[in-house]
Amino acid sequence: MTGPADSDLWFPTAPGPVRTVPAAQRGALRGQRVVTGTPGRGWRYDLRADDPVERDGRRFVPVLAEHDWYRAELDDTDVFAPLVPVERVWVEQPDTGAGTADPPANLLSRLVSLDAPPLRIPVPARDVPALTGRRLVVVSPETARRDVRAVSEPYENDDGTICLSVCAESDWYRWAFAGRPADCTEVPVYLAWAE
């Protein structure tokens, strides 16, 4: 997220893509965003993991939908977590540098292998329809803030800037299960990318 040599100038750059690594190559998984699936079939996203457990000599990962993960964490309640064989779990790892890959331009360039979850390249929010509820990355000169959800579609604020309302992911899910509206922040749409 660096700018030119003149420190007063800064231009937003795309955040790095999200890669996945097999959970078997990782130790602690508690709270990590994960993907489950079966090579050759498909993938399920928006999940969180707990640390692996052993059952009958095999390793399993407790996996929850993010909604249930946040409910358990924020309300300190027990939630049933299905155990998924560790070989069917991948951990999401966002690249911390600026994005180097462009979003695919057409269907043929979007084709992937079904051997493992594909690389997920953030797309400028201005180019994505139906943003409400989507995972976002909001960039600034200091960082790329992940675990953010869009709470609105783009709108024009009083200053004439095209913006989005966003909230922390934990607030997004608390809103769903407790009915308390999220604390929102207004960000210019040019600083947001959809994951």
Q: CA 94, CA 78: separation in Å to the nearest integer?
A: 29
Q: What is the pLDDT of residue 97?
A: 66
What ranges do the domains of the chain cover?
A: 18-94, 122-194
| pLDDT > 70: percent of the chain | 92
Q: What is the pLDDT of residue 2?
A: 47
* Number of alpha carbons in the 13 Å side-chain half-sphere of residue 181: 7
**Hey, CA dihedral for 22, 23, 26, 32, is it positive or negative?**
positive
The 10 Å Cβ neighbour count of residue 116 is: 16
* CA gap 25, 91 in Å, rounded: 9
Give the alpha-carbon dihedral of 69, 74, 79, 81, to 10 degrees: 20
> Which helix (H) or strand (E) covers residue 177, if one does?
helix 169-178
Q: What is the percent of the chain with per-residue pLDDT over 90, rounded to a whole number?
A: 67
Residue 137 host element (H or E) = strand 135-139
* Distant-in-sequence contacts of 36-40, Cβ < 8 A, 24+ apart: 36/63, 36/84, 36/88, 36/89, 36/90, 37/88, 37/90, 37/117, 38/88, 39/114, 39/115, 39/116, 40/114, 40/115
User: What pTM was computed for the model?
Assistant: 0.85
pLDDT score, position 189? 97
pLDDT at 117: 93
Q: Return the SS3 of 10.
A: coil
pLDDT score for 187: 97
Low-confidence ranges of the chain (pLDDT < 50): 1-4
pLDDT value at position 45? 94
pLDDT of residue 102: 65
> Which residue in the block uniquely carries the two structure tokens 């690389």?
119
- Which pLDDT score, from 0 to 100, does residue 6 have? 54
CB count within 10 Å of CB 164 equals 26
Pinpoint the alpha helices (H) of 7-160. Answer: 66-75
The answer to whether 43 touches 34, Cβ cutoff 8 Å, is no
Report which secondary-structure segment, H or E, holds 175. helix 169-178
